[in-house]
Amino acid sequence: MKEFSQNKKLSLCSSALCFFLLSIMQMNCPAQDIQNLDPPRDLECLVDKANLVHSEHAKKIRSRGKRLLENTETPIIVVTIDKISDHVDEDMTIDDFAERLFDQWRIGSSADEGNEENPSKGVLLLVSNESGEARIRIGDGWEEEKVKHCQWIYDSVITPRFRASKYSQGILAGFDALLRMIPKGMAIIEKDNSHDYVPSPRESFRANYGP
């Protein structure tokens, strides 16, 4: 009985040691890079890996995104993927995937004359075809109120269209809603939709993207 007790203690100690070593290994292992997903080229803002965006909508996103990049350091990058497991070998939520992709691509990152990195004002709109979900990730240079506004865009602009299986329409509407957060972005929208009467954001969404 005494020998069994000693063996049990040794087994417990071995298990604890293995758990400790695994924990140390995990702490020392860097986060896995996202694979098979290249960042957009200069002055481009759309990576439609899942082919969710209709050609006419893609043309509008690319045109408006290019003009934004030519006039500001605030990129809005739109990415669609089929499924997360195509790009990482570990279980990952769409929130974690968006966070890692934003950091890996360094969206909106810039440095001042002293090479000090400024807080990013970049924006990422990520869409997963498999889950039918989207996520918006914005840089640390944005005010807290814009974080809440992005949640409104997700809840009120993107999600209703996704629920109606209007993915391309929802992506374009979401992109334009994000564009409106930026003063020069608003000017781009108004130039593309020039008319005497400028509708409110809600009226404009209904007119251009449907309910």
For residue range 153-185, list pLDDT tens digits in order. Answer: 999 999 999 999 999 999 999 999 999 999 888
For the cut 70, the answer to whether the pLDDT of residue 86 exceeds it is: yes
- Residue 142: C-alpha distances to residues 64, 72, 87, 123, 146 (Å): 21, 14, 28, 10, 6
pLDDT band at 13 (very low <50, low <70, confident <90, very high): very low
When pLDDT is averaged across residues 114-128 and rounded to a whole number, the result is: 86
Q: What is the pTM (predicted TM-score) of this model? A: 0.78
Which of 22 and 193 is assigned the larger pLDDT?
A: 193
φ, ψ at 139 (rounded to 5°): -70, 170
The answer to whether the CB of 172 falls within 8 A of the CB of 57 is yes
Produce one character per residue of 126-157: b if its CB has 16 or more CB atoms within 10 Å, e if not: bbbeeeebbbbbbbebbeeebeebbeebbeeb
